[in-house]
A and B are shown apart, each in its own frame.
Chain A
């Protein structure tokens, strides 16, 4: 899965260091001893001994480290939103990685837990938090075990807890296991869950975590991968990080490729430079489509993202470019579907996920996603009606008005609109497949705005040369 050259880079591109995956090839990279042997906790020592919190924050800001959870908001800027002078404030680590196809954080936590802990401590130092909460998805048993062990070892070694490394910097890290809800990946729902309530999103405003988060105190919620980058940034400087990657996407980034590829896995690539074609077809990466098949569609950034097709393969893995094309890079999950895929069934699968994971708070999401699932299931069972396609889109429109990208929403959080993406993608691209299930085509009256949905297949044969 991770048999990548330590100096991996895109095909023919310059070589870049492995920032967060450097210990993935070690069988004992998760132990404290091995971690320290390989330079672990040196960045922490550097930060607390040689730098002020403001200097640390400045380095992170200078690195232009974008959040790796999906929204891609600059981490340094996010930290700055905490109202000055309000304490206590908390760091919450979002380890509730649940987006279908995304499994980078799990491996980060399993194989290099100390790197995350060190990142957490650096972040706490930078923003002045003395308590951090590590929220790990309930199903990730090994990650929980490794993190718990790592935390115990780090506490024992004086790296976490009271007077870290002999300084007057103290942080407690609390490990919390989730109960298995996708929505808890949404930061305010995660905070609710952490407080012991049902994992349901809070209303924004007023509940922006930076202002009113955990226990109504200023709270920074960061993704696992985001924080895992911090030791390297502190050790090597924000500028070194910013030297990597593209204009608006600095550093390296993890992408999880799954689906109908020969070599699925998590790959660290230079951010913003590598293309979808590189990572899907590159020998060092996913190594092309299985059985020599042709690609039909792929999800570029988690199940919520509008689908891409072969005409999008040469787009760089860069938020701006992907966004301009009408989808999102999201959580770094690329799910590849080959030509044998049934588009209706694929849409049903994804919608079913969202219907099951809807928290049930907002009416359009609770009722809309399950209704969409029922219609698709009915089609698959052979009871489709010609009017169903238009109905599907109209239901989508009632969840996410005018089916645009980025989506508008009638709900509190974007989970409901997430279910719109697969349907709009599949319906508009593979209308004939839907018509076949519906006993014929009928007029589609619902206007659709999203650019990726409206993408048309290239006339010349592109892409499937592999």
Chain B
């Protein structure tokens, strides 16, 4: 076993056939790889084997004569002989199946699993044919809810330990467990502790019988009535591969698809169950136009589009392209996004376009830093610095991958967050609780390599030293995103840039969470960018040959657009699936912006608070109703499948763009999603080579990572990504230009570093070459936030998985899981503030106030007020001042 000179492969014989197996490979896997399927129930390739169900028992001879052994537990050794079909094996397997059916209710005709049930299927293939059991079966009360989403039928359960193992090993929520003993063994929850896991739906998917059923699907369909298409989940930006299953033109279920690169077959419950939103009664099915009486009335598409075209044309006449602005678009497919970018930047010529709602990071930070894939971050022995969101709440499957990496592969996590996150308790090797607003100094100290003697930004020197040690060796990946909506994204961007300049080998995995926000940025849905990761200036010449117009100057981001709108400078404001009133951190500005824009046009699936302010509302098709591609946080492009038709007359976003273009007297030049995909491939440099054919190959189906920029160029982000992914795009050095902002001390160092690194690309005059890709990092000037005064608390606003977001609210099963707003305070702050736990308090900032109950929470540092974004009973964004790097609040009894 410890013989190191042994070859990496061993030869074994399975049913008389010689096969090669990897040393240490399990017999059940080696056999399956070679076409011999050994039946199993408890074995699951993504979990540790337990050898409980005994179904995979086969005769194995390692030289001492054949003996029945569980093939899921035995590793292949040289010369091993395996008989999966010998009479002894067959009798043993028949026996196990008969035993499993002894107490199984055999209620297949009314069981949701019937038709896709491993117990049913394997009984047909390997079972004894009939049962000799005439006694009474065991009985349990059924079904019992183990969580709000999952019901358990203990009579159907065959005690395979898959769900319980998943809960403990994979999800880290060991809330379901075996109880009792022997024949009375059952899976159950602990009293008063429901299986409240963000990942509970996976247990339903991996249950080999109908014991676990999910309330949103239960009794809705029979498997043989389901049609399915492979797709990519767009509930967040992780981009899990899924199948969308429907029956009679209704989406009924999503199931995770096992792919190595991203989700390993898992899904979070939000992604799994928000299909309910697709079928929601509240979906918009008809255009709405504000009438003379100032209320929104149904209209025909012709009338609505004419109204849109008229407003746009009037606006252009009045103020030129600068009066046209687009906010949102992260929900759209890559193709839809390109259509809107082409309309806005390439036909109208406005650069006021931002897919983010001020709740993310500057686009330059996302596109301009060397990027990592999830696999890069999870590579054994590495260190992951989480400078951003609570991964468990915002990117749940990335959390599962990181959890596995920490527990199984020795990856260390250094977490920088102002409040406790899902990583803190069990997974983070170091948690630096920095004072809100101080991300940059804390990061600088962390990477300085110098001994720290004093507290930095709220982080004690011992904690800092411990974290520094973790960065000493091994590759480092930074997950960057926006944890605290009350803290400017620029400070995170500046911190990330500081890491990049000091440790150029560090790579970055974006933690922005909106579905296709990365696609949007790649395709230029941000001021100053053009499709394919090129800057306005860098791509002007190239796009001038392909588009009627190219913006002349860098436009405004979402905050800038809203500010301009509030000042009456925006004639037409298009909301592409955006709800700034709910999502923009500074609600006051969002309100003034929407009120100040002359015409607001909304493309959306739901009549959200912001959409209600629009002059024209255009209903659009959504997930599972459109095809195309999406781009995940790695830059991985994968397909979206269409399975059902949209409600009413709702249209794809790109068709709306094309219609508007036509009514403005232009031609978008595309007639289908395929046309758009082809045009993207042709004009957007990083998408070069990314064809539909490429995405339909065996490896391409899991998605293809668009070319990743690297600091030194040439060498792709990762071997795997480079080998499997880089399209034939021009490989160039990352271009880095000088910053515009006033340099600070560190910034000068940055500029020096950049001018040393930056290789000026050669420009040929005669022929317009594809523009160089790569976005330079600007210098983000960070003002040190003022120290918090003795009467105030510093505000932290983070997101939870379940909030009052549009999709969750439209999914009845999930909507109930969103808790109402509450103020989390350190237990020791209660006395100081003179409030009690559970009391209603009024939180006041310079912008507004909300009244919510309090919750003592030791995960919140002292002098910090922690709220969750977008919850019922108290909107945190009422308090945030977008003009300041941080927001301080007062907490008082109302």
Contact = CB atoms under 8 A, between A and B. Distances in A.
30 contacts: A198-B178, A355-B183, A356-B181, A359-B181, A360-B159, A360-B178, A360-B184, A360-B185, A361-B52, A362-B53, A362-B54, A363-B52, A363-B54, A363-B99, A363-B158, A363-B159, A364-B54, A364-B95, A366-B99, A367-B183, A368-B95, A371-B102, A397-B91, A398-B91, A398-B96, A399-B95, A410-B54, A410-B57, A410-B92, A412-B51
B98 interface: yes
Contacts of B73: 203
Interface string B145-168: 000000000000011000000000
B51 A359 contact: no
Which of B52, B55, B136, B183: most chain A CB closer than 10 A?
B183
Across the A-B interface, the 8 shortest Cβ-Cβ residue pairs: A398-B95, A360-B185, A367-B99, A358-B182, A370-B183, A374-B135, A367-B102, A360-B182
Given A363-B158, A411-B54, A412-B51, A378 B182 contact: no
Interface in A117-172: none
Contacts of A362: 52-54
Contact of B182 (A370, A391, A399, A409): A370
Given A363-B52, A391-B132, 14 more contacts: A203-B73, A360-B159, A360-B183, A360-B185, A363-B96, A363-B99, A367-B102, A370-B183, A395-B95, A398-B94, A398-B95, A410-B54, A410-B57, A410-B68
Given A371-B99, A378-B135, A357 B182 contact: yes
B460 interface: no
A355 B94 CA distance: 21
A401 interface: yes
Q: Which of B100, B136, B181 has the most CB of A within 10 A?
A: B181
B319 to A, nearest CB: 71
B103 interface: yes
A99 to B, nearest CB: 17
B181 A398 contact: no
Contacts of B102: 367, 371
Interface string B120-161: 000000000000110110000000000000000000001100
Contacts of B54: 362-364, 410-411
B92 A366 contact: no
B29 to A, nearest CB: 17
B67 interface: yes
Interface string A71-82: 000000000000
A375 interface: yes
A181 interface: yes
B84 to A, nearest CB: 15
A408 interface: yes
Given A362-B54, A371-B102, A410 B96 contact: yes
Contacts of A357: 181-182
A204 to B, nearest CB: 10
Contact of B95 (A374, A391, A410): A410
Nearest to B94: A398
B244 to A, nearest CB: 35
Contact of A366 (B88, B91, B95, B159): B159
A363 B53 contact: yes
B182 A359 contact: yes
Contacts of B53: 362-363
Contacts of A181: 181
Question: Which among A362, A369, A391, A409 has the highest number of chain B CB atoms within 10 Å?
Answer: A362
A409 B54 CA distance: 11
A356 B67 CA distance: 28
A369 B182 CA distance: 9
B96 A366 contact: no
- Centre residue among B53, B57, B95, B96 by max chain A CB count within 10 A: B95
A235 B57 CA distance: 49
A277 B54 CA distance: 42
Given A363-B53, A367-B183, A368-B99, A408 B67 contact: yes
A115 to B, nearest CB: 33
A409 B180 CA distance: 24
Nearest to B53: A363
A371 B133 contact: yes
Contacts of B96: 363-364, 398, 410
A411 to B, nearest CB: 7
Interface of B: 50-55, 57, 67-68, 73, 88, 91-92, 94-96, 98-100, 102-103, 132-133, 135-136, 158-159, 178, 180-185
Interface of A: 181, 198, 203, 355-364, 366-371, 374-375, 378, 391, 395, 397-399, 401, 408-412
B57 A375 contact: no
Contacts of B91: 397-398, 401
B40 to A, nearest CB: 12
A359 B183 CA distance: 8
A401 B57 CA distance: 12
B562 to A, nearest CB: 56
B421 to A, nearest CB: 28
A113 to B, nearest CB: 30
Contacts of A358: 181-183
A351 B793 CA distance: 68
Contacts of B184: 360
Contacts of B95: 364, 368, 395, 397-399, 410
Contacts of A401: 68, 88, 91-92
A368 B54 CA distance: 13
A368 B98 CA distance: 9
Contacts of A203: 50-51, 73
A384 to B, nearest CB: 11
Nearest to B178: A198
A366 to B, nearest CB: 6
B416 to A, nearest CB: 33
B336 to A, nearest CB: 52
Contacts of B67: 408
Among A366, A397, A409, the one with the most B-chain Cβ atoms within 10 Å of its Cβ is: A366
Contacts of B181: 181, 356-360
B49 to A, nearest CB: 8
A371 B91 CA distance: 18
Contacts of A395: 95
A369 B158 CA distance: 16
A14 B91 CA distance: 52
A350 to B, nearest CB: 15
Given A361-B52, A410-B54, A398 B92 contact: yes
A399 B96 CA distance: 9
Given A363-B55, A374-B135, A408-B67, A398 B98 contact: yes
Contacts of B178: 198, 360
A261 to B, nearest CB: 31
Contacts of A367: 99-100, 102-103, 183
Contacts of A360: 159, 178, 180-185
A391 B183 CA distance: 20
A265 B183 CA distance: 33
Given A374-B135, A398-B95, A401-B68, A366 B182 contact: yes
B135 A375 contact: yes
A181 B181 CA distance: 9
Nearest to B132: A391
A292 B837 CA distance: 78
B99 A356 contact: no
Which has the most chain B C-beta neighbours within 10 Å: A360, A397, A409, A412? A360
Contacts of A391: 132
Contacts of B159: 360, 363, 366
Nearest to B102: A367
Nearest to B159: A360
A277 B94 CA distance: 43
A397 B98 CA distance: 13
Nearest to B59: A401
B795 to A, nearest CB: 42
A146 B210 CA distance: 51
B594 to A, nearest CB: 58
